[in-house]
Structure formats: structure tokens, C-alpha cells
Amino acid sequence: MDPVQLPPSHRGLILTDKHGIIQSCNMTAKHIMSSDTLVGRPIKLYAEKLHAEDGRLDKLDETLMITFGSGTLKNDLEQIFNQIDLKIFAFDLDGNTLYSNHAFSIAFPHQEKNIYSLFKNAQIALPALNVIKHARQSISTLINDGETNQIIQLTPIFSDSNQITFFMGTITEENNTQTLNHKIKQLQSEINQTKSKSHEHICATGKPFLQFNSPSMKELNALISNLVNKDITILILGPSGTGKSTFAKKIHDESLRNTKPFVTINCSALPENLIESELFGYEKGAFTGALTTGKKGLIEVANGGTLFIDEIGELPLYLQGKLLELLQDRTYRPVGSTEVKKADVRIIVATNKDLYRQVEEKSFRKDLYYRIAVAVINIPPLSEHPEDIIDLINLYSLHFNKKYELQVQFTREVKEMLCTYEWPGNIRELEHFIEFLTVRSYDGKVEKKDLPLEIIRHYETVKNAKSSTNTTALSISPHHLSHYEDSSLIDNLSLSYDEHLDRINSVLIKTYYDTFKSSYKVAEKLKISQSKAHRLIQKYCSK
């Protein structure tokens, strides 16, 4: 067993076992005994020296402690005071300095015998001594040395007759909530500036961070901000190309796990027989062709960080049970291993499929669905927040001009045309199209003639439709109107009240969505939330 480390002191300290064999000692004991090899020797060899040094023996259970030497409590306290950063001093009623520790001496190298003169020369005002004498308690005052706020505290010391004999003083750096908050804000500002310079609006994938200003997307960003530091599983839903992976990365970057890895696996991009080994890893010899050293899975690679499972709807049914175990118990087993491993990862999953329909079709586990749908984020298609298209055009134009060292400009007319297009491929389609227009420009300008005929015709159709009518009222087509007048809506008298309402709601939502093509507009016209409109559209218009 290693010997106990004894503290430094002006007195020698020795510990022995019950047989008197020295087990440990401090440096002072070695110095007094003129020996560096005290440990392991009998204490009786040093009896004469201990007697001469006023040795004292105390029994602590089966251990003996011997203290000796000419040290005093005063010496020990001075040593302690000289080893701390707190500035300590003492002076009598006339201001004569009685004591100052090492930290105080460094702060005031040109010391004077009188404490009043010392502080006056340093342009520091001491707390009023007459107030201390009257109140007979400690008094503090705040000073500033140009860099930090410091507090001087003076405390009266009383004699046995209850008279003030001298004053003890301390000087310490201010440590209050206001100061800490200021430092935190200053540090956060520096971090934000560093991020701005280093990222230049570029995320880890090399793409610009998406910027949205439409009401529906601001609402979505507010939801994400509320979830980033709640370490729960998140399900991201949305059509292909809406930026699900970018939102997942945003959640990771803004969470407390942002210093750890962000790891992605796309279930639709890997053969079924490789997903398990990529996700969970494998032991050596687990299967034919396996590496002889085995391989870490992406779960282990993402340890401490975030694992993003994209296109989870493509995950084979036989692997869904292993993923459920990971989500519930934070444990998993590599392929070919009997060892259960712990996983410290946050799971974010995404899909463009209707998982609930897959549950009904028995192609997706119901228990897994409810386990991943703890927090659900619905990302609408770009056509439902067209207000963001102009910002995305400007963002991608700037990005690709920097990437290819170009200075291509998009005319106002081109931007207007691109803003009216529906973009069935969503943000991904828009991004690739802006890149294509940027690199193929011959004269540094993108004009109407550079656009595909499909986009030009769509723009002209929309423009003509707007000019032909000045009303935005809902126009119900004869086809939809016939549903309201048709008794077939209530021809089945065996249906319940709720079932009849469901059929009427179906006609209503389909009518509005066919007319406005946007859940945001449907929500605005029906005076309901955008998220509710999105759910109703998914329910009645995706069948």
C-alpha cells in the first residue's frame, strides 16, 4: 500500500503502525532527522532526537502519530496564508502594518509601514474606520484596478475586554452574478464571431445553412430550438428534398452534444445485409468476408454525439427489434458477439414515407413507431412556404459564386420566375438548379433566356391567372359543389355522426387544398394552425 502523504508543516510529522514501524512522514521530519529513508525503520531508533525536539505521541486506532520540532501554530498559519491567492493584511488602530501575506506583497510591492499611506499612494479608498468602530462589524467596499472589480473587506478584532485591538483586511476579486453574466455574454459573443468567421454560413456538409423567414418555417425553427437540448428521440417527416438531414445537423450543432460526432446512415442507400453490420458493427469472423480485426459500428463511432438514421422506413423488419432495444435500453450487440455494449448517443430519424400506414401494413413495428415518434417535426414541401424561395436563391447564388470563384448575377425577372415555380423536388432541386445556372453562365448574368421552357410557361400561366381575376375568394368547382348537394354523402344511414363528419371534412379539405395548393394557405383561410392543416391534408389528400 502506498504511504499516506502528510501535509507540509513547520513541525515534523511521522506515522507508524502499531509495532512502531514508520509508515509515512513529511519533509520537515526528514529534514530534522537528517534522513531521507525514515519509512520502514523502527521509530525507537530516533527516540533520543524526538525527545530533544519535544516530540508528542498520539494514538489513532492502530496508528501512532508523532509531532515534533520547534514549529508553532503561528508559523503553520503563515505558511497557509502565503499559499493562497487571497490578499490578507492586518494593522493596528494607528494604521501601522502588523502583517501581510505573499499575495498582498505581490499586489503592493512598494510597501510602507503605514497602511493608510500605502492605500493612499495606490489611490484606493479604505472603508471608513469610524463606521467599523461604531458598527463593530465587517465593512466592504468596491474598487477597480482598471481590469477587474475587487472587494476590500475590513474586520475588527477584539480583545478579551471587548475592545478593538487591530483590524484584519482581505482583498478579493468580485464574484457576483452580474460579473459572471457579463463574462458569459462576452464569451458567447466571441464564440459567435469565431463561428461566423470559420463557417462563413457553411455547415459541416459544405452546404450553406438554410435560412427561412416565412411564418410556418419560423414556427418550425422555434419548435426545433425548444427540442435541441432535450435529449430525446426526434422523428423528422417530410417529402424528399425538404432538408431533413440539414435540420438533423442543425439540432446536433445547437445541442450540448455538438463537440461530439454527428454520424449519418441512410437505410435506402445500403443493401439490407450490410445495414446491420454498418450500424451495430461486428466481431472478427462474424461472417464470410468480415475483417479479421472486426469493425466498429456507427453507433460506437457516434458515441457521445448524435446518430442520424435517414430513410428509416427502409429499415428491414428483422433489424427493427435491435433498434428498439437501442432506443429503450441504450444497449446493443455487434454482429457475432454475445457482449452487450452501452451506447451514449442521441437518435434522430427521418423518412419521407407514411410510417403509420407501414404500421398498418405490418411492414413497420408498431412499438418502434411509438418509440421514435416522441417528438415529431413535419417539414412542409417548398411549395407550402414559397416566401422562402427568394432567400434560398440568394443564399445558393452567393454560395456557388464563392465555390467556383464567379460573379454571376440573377436578374430580377429570373428570380420572380423561380419564385412562382412549384419545385416538386423541393429545396434539393432548387439548390442543384441554382448551381447549374451559375456554372453555365457565359456572361456573368442569368436571364430569362437561360431558363427551361417549363419554368417560363408556368410563370406565364400564373401571371395570366392573376391578371384575369382580382379576387382570392375560394372558388368551389361544380365537381366539389355536387358533393355538398349529393345525397350520397349521407346515403349510408349505418354510419355514426363522427363518420359522417369525417366524410364532409374530406370534401372540405380536398377542396381547399386543390384550390390553394398550400397547407399554409389552407390554414389561413380556415383559421386553423398550419400544423393542423398539414395533418388534415395528409389524412384526406394523400389517399
> What pLDDT is recorded for position 158?
76
Cell readout for 383 is 411549395
Instruction: Among 173, 197, 228, give the residue marking a domain's end.
Output: 173
Q: Looking at the domain assignment, is residue 334 inside a domain?
A: yes
Same domain, yes or no, for 106 and 128? Answer: yes
**How many structural domains does the chain have?**
5
> What pLDDT is recorded for position 206?
55
Q: Looking at the domain assignment, is residue 200 inside a domain?
A: no
Same domain, yes or no, for 48 and 94? Answer: no
Per-residue pLDDT of the chain (543 residues; tens, 9 = 90+): 445 555 555 678 888 888 888 888 887 788 788 888 888 898 888 888 887 777 777 766 677 888 887 654 455 556 667 767 778 888 888 888 888 888 888 888 776 778 888 887 777 777 666 656 665 666 767 666 656 677 888 888 877 667 787 888 888 776 554 454 555 555 555 545 444 433 333 444 456 667 788 888 888 988 998 999 888 999 999 999 999 999 999 999 999 899 999 999 999 988 888 899 999 999 887 776 667 778 899 999 999 999 999 999 999 999 999 999 999 999 999 988 888 999 999 999 999 998 988 999 999 999 999 999 989 999 999 988 999 999 999 999 999 998 898 999 999 999 999 999 989 999 999 999 999 999 998 888 999 999 999 999 988 888 887 666 444 444 444 444 444 444 455 556 667 777 778 888 888 888 888 888 777 778 878 888 766 787 788 888 865
Same domain, yes or no, for 458 and 512? Answer: no
> What pLDDT is recorded for position 423?
93
> What pLDDT is recorded for position 493?
65
Task: Quote helix, strand, coil % in the chain, to nearest 5.
Answer: 45, 20, 35
Same domain, yes or no, for 359 and 231? Answer: yes
d(CA 2, CA 443): 80
Instruction: Among 39, 55, 74, give the residue marking a domain's end.
Output: 74
Structural element, H or E, at residue 322: helix 317-329
Same domain, yes or no, for 224 and 253? Answer: yes
Domain harbouring 441, CATH code: 1.10.8.60
The domain of 275 spans 215-380
Instruction: Among 143, 173, 203, give the residue marking a domain's end.
Output: 173
List, as one string, the DSSP characters of 365-398.
-HHHHHHHTTEEEEPPPGGG-GGGHHHHHHHHHH
Same domain, yes or no, for 265 and 376? Answer: yes
Same domain, yes or no, for 143 and 281? Answer: no
Same domain, yes or no, for 531 and 431? Answer: no
Same domain, yes or no, for 275 and 363? Answer: yes
Per-residue DSSP letter, 36: S
Q: Looking at the domain assignment, is residue 205 inside a domain?
A: no
Q: Looking at the domain assignment, is residue 420 inside a domain?
A: yes
**Hunting for cell 387544398 — which residue is that?**
513
Cell readout for 505 is 371534412
Same domain, yes or no, for 149 and 263? Answer: no
Same domain, yes or no, for 237 and 338? Answer: yes
Q: Looking at the domain assignment, is residue 4 inside a domain?
A: no
Contact 518, 422 (CB under 8 A): no
Cα–Cα distances (Å) from 275 to 270, 278, 281, 283, in that order, read 6, 5, 9, 15
Contact 417, 434 (CB under 8 A): no
Same domain, yes or no, for 372 and 244? Answer: yes
Domain harbouring 280, CATH code: 3.40.50.300
Q: Looking at the domain assignment, is residue 193 inside a domain?
A: no
Cell readout for 245 is 438531414
Q: Looking at the domain assignment, is residue 165 inside a domain?
A: yes
Q: 64-68: long-range contacts at Cβ-Cβ below 8 A with a sequence spacing of 24 or more?
A: 64/15, 64/16, 64/17, 64/18, 64/20, 65/13, 65/14, 65/15, 66/12, 66/13, 66/14, 66/15, 66/16, 67/11, 67/12, 67/13, 68/11, 68/12, 68/14, 68/29, 68/32
Per-residue DSSP letter, 312: G
Q: Looking at the domain assignment, is residue 310 inside a domain?
A: yes
What is the per-residue pLDDT across 276-286, written as a single tens digit (0 to 9) for each?
A: 999 999 988 77
- pTM, 2 dp: 0.52
Contact 148, 174 (CB under 8 A): yes
